[in-house]
Amino acid sequence: MAGVIAHDEAQHLRSALSEVLRASPELPAVALAAFGRLVDVLESSADAVVFPADATVSTQQAAALLGVSRMTVVRLIDRGELSAEGGAVHRRIFVSELARYQAESSHRRRTAMVELADDVSEGMPPDQVIETR
């Protein structure tokens, strides 16, 4: 997938970050790692969105970020799969909570795919068509 910036631009930014690290040892390593991750995301994704971890979004905004309907977000909150603040009318969701949910959901999908792939083997007979009429 093409990102917001090209590979050569990303390499140039990584080099610049490395120079800053060497020139400014007082910068926290976590800050430089965050900038490096930002370059990675900009290089690999055309849909990069950056929020502070403590920012909150509405259920509609959360739905747009997750790529689901607003009602799906409401159901996730009601089932306890996604935590939110506020009442039933004006719920706010921390962006860090969305990131946690996305990572957990992605892990579940990957695990299910691995289990499915493990179930399929070369010795498995092909599907059969059964005539019903």
Q: What is the pLDDT of residues 18-32, one digit of tens each?
A: 888 778 878 787 887
Report which of residues 55 and 53 the model is more confident about. Answer: 55
The residues spanned by each domain of the chain are 7-44, 56-119
Residue 107 pLDDT class (50, 70, 90 cuts): very high
H helix intervals, the chain: 7-23, 29-44, 59-66, 70-78, 95-119
pTM: 0.61
Q: Among 47, 64, 39, which residue's Cα sits nearest to residue 2? A: 47
Per-residue pLDDT, averaged over 103-121, amounts to 86
